[in-house]
Amino acid sequence: MKKSLFLYLFILAVVMNVFTYAYFSKQHESDVMKTESKLKKANDSILVLYNDLIDANYFSLEYNQNAQDNMDTDPKQVIKLVTNEILEMNSNVKGNPLIPYDQINEQKFIINKVRVLNHRWVIADYTDGKMWGELLLKYFIEDNGKLTFERMDTQLYAKQ
């Protein structure tokens, strides 16, 4: 009787091990499929973000080969030079002279962001803390390396 009890317990243990193995094998396959699905979605999201980045950088001197072909200097140096020159004008007591508006509120208008679009144009964002606007500029690099700017258009948005 003792032998048959051990035999039944052994058979029960083997059956439980087979069912446990089958359960965890299917569980593992299910986890792998879920992980692959999430990875595919993440890769699709990364691809969408990459494409959005490429579209956003379309109008940028750094990625505009046609504009770079019309230049004699390194585009990164030009971007840095133009950006620094425009932002340095913010130190003017009356505000940045490229902005055509006098001081309206207690703060002066200053340029916050600059994007060099190509070998000739710049777009900039400006604000006085309450009002904001955008500015389109032409820039020229003179033979002596001096920068000159010509305002093409500007837009001031009203307070909301």
Q: Give one DSSP letter per residue of the chain, joined into a string.
A: -HHHHHHHHHHHHHHHHHHHHHHHHHHHHHHHHHHHHHHHHHHHHHHHHHHHHHHHTSS-GGG-HHHHHT-SS-HHHHHHHHHHHHHHGGGSTT--TTS-PPP-SSSPPEEEEEEE-SSSEEEEEEE-SS-EEEEEEEEEE-TTS-EEEEEEEEEEEPP-
Q: Percentage of the chain surpassing pLDDT 70?
A: 98
Q: Residue 22 pLDDT more than 90? A: no
pLDDT of residue 61: 84
Q: Residue 160 pLDDT more than 70? A: no
Highest-scoring range by mean pLDDT, 5-19, 40-54, 77-91: 77-91
Among 55-69, 88-102, 139-153, whose mean pLDDT is lowest? 55-69
User: What does the pLDDT look like over 109-158, one tens digit per residue?
Assistant: 899 999 999 889 999 999 988 888 999 999 998 888 889 999 999 998 87
Among 91-95, 101-105, 112-116, whose mean pLDDT is lowest? 101-105
pLDDT of residue 155: 92
